[in-house]
Amino acid sequence: MARASTPQRKALVTVVAWLIAFLIFFPILWTILTSFKTEIDAISIPPKFLNFHWTLENYATVQERSDYFQHFMNSVIISVGSTVLALIVAIPAAWSMAFVPGRRTKDVLMWMLSTKMMPAVGVLIPIYLIFRDWGLLDSRTGLVIVLMLMNLPIVVWMLYTYFKEIPGEILEAARMDGASLGKEIVYILTPMAVPGIASTLLLNIILAWNEAFWTLNLTAVNSAPLTAFIASYSSPEGLFYAKLSAASTLAIAPILILGWFSQKQLVRGLTFGAVK
């Protein structure tokens, strides 16, 4: 028997949801507010929430010290490039696992997922040496490859889940009509899984955008994305919280805006096939 939903219960759930959302968003809000403070206000005790001198000086200083737009373009190219490359590899792989299953399909999927459990630092030295010998250090190409490989297990798992919800009879009908394997994937399977592919794409872009470990260890100047841009404001002289907050705000603003405008697509894709 379904539990009755009273107005009081709805109000309580709404309040709790807003409190949880505020707790999750508060660090971002505090970072944005700190970016408009002076350095003295940023470290004042007790902390000043809104009653401080608002200034844009930190943003001007950040832009003078660093080329924000170069770092921004590096982040866009690296995150989008690694995502597109991962989808090119993952879509055929997920198709074969979903529609041509073998006895070892689940074992392969679990092995792929288990690679995410290994600390990245465990393979840093061999990957660094490979990149050094192949001339991929401080290059966008190298970061695109390493981020694609890092997120590929998640992409394959998500696409496999979405593809499993598509009736195999539709693909069989396409084969009977003479569709080749390539046309089956491109013209039949992919359009039917657009919500799942879109959510996978958006999630992978976010993961690649926020990746810091590999970007800090495999880049220097030319291909440094926004994660390295933020790290550059940690210096031996100490942390300048207002300027660091301004750099962080500039780095997270594009991905926050993307997430805000694509939230419906993300929710639709992440719940694709959840309800029969």
pLDDT, tens digit (0-9, with 9 covering 90-100), for 18-27: 999 889 889 8
> Which SS3 state, helix, strand or coil, does residue 214 take?
helix
pLDDT digits (tens, 9 = 90+) for 214-269: 988 898 888 889 888 888 877 655 678 888 889 899 999 888 888 888 777 776 66
Q: Compute, in degrees rounded to 10, the torsion defined by CA atoms 208, 212, 214, 219.
A: 100
Is the distance from CB of 185 to CB of 159 less than 8 angstroms? no
pLDDT-derived band at 109, boundaries 50, 70, 90: confident
Strand, helix or coil for residue 1: coil
The 10 Å Cβ neighbour count of residue 135 is 10
Fold for the domain defined by 66-232: MetI-like fold (1.10.3720)
Using the CB atoms, write b or e for 96-115: b if 16+ within 10 Å.
bbbbeeeeeeeeebeebeee
Helices (H), the chain: 7-34, 39-42, 57-65, 68-99, 105-114, 124-134, 140-164, 168-176, 181-183, 190-192, 194-210, 213-218, 226-231, 241-261, 263-270
Global confidence as pTM:
0.83
Give per-residue pLDDT as tens, 132-166. Answer: 899 888 899 999 999 999 999 989 988 888 888 88
Q: What is the pLDDT of residues 65-88, one digit of tens each?
A: 888 888 999 999 999 999 999 999
The first and second tokens of residue 28, run together, are: 């971002």
Instruction: Show the tokens assigned to 168.
Output: 């195999």
Contact 67, 222 (CB under 8 A): no
Where are the domains positioned within the chain? 66-232
Residue that the structure tokens 């976010």 belong to: 206
* CA-to-CA separations, 274 to 99, 123, 164, 165, 168, in angstroms, rounded: 19, 36, 11, 9, 18
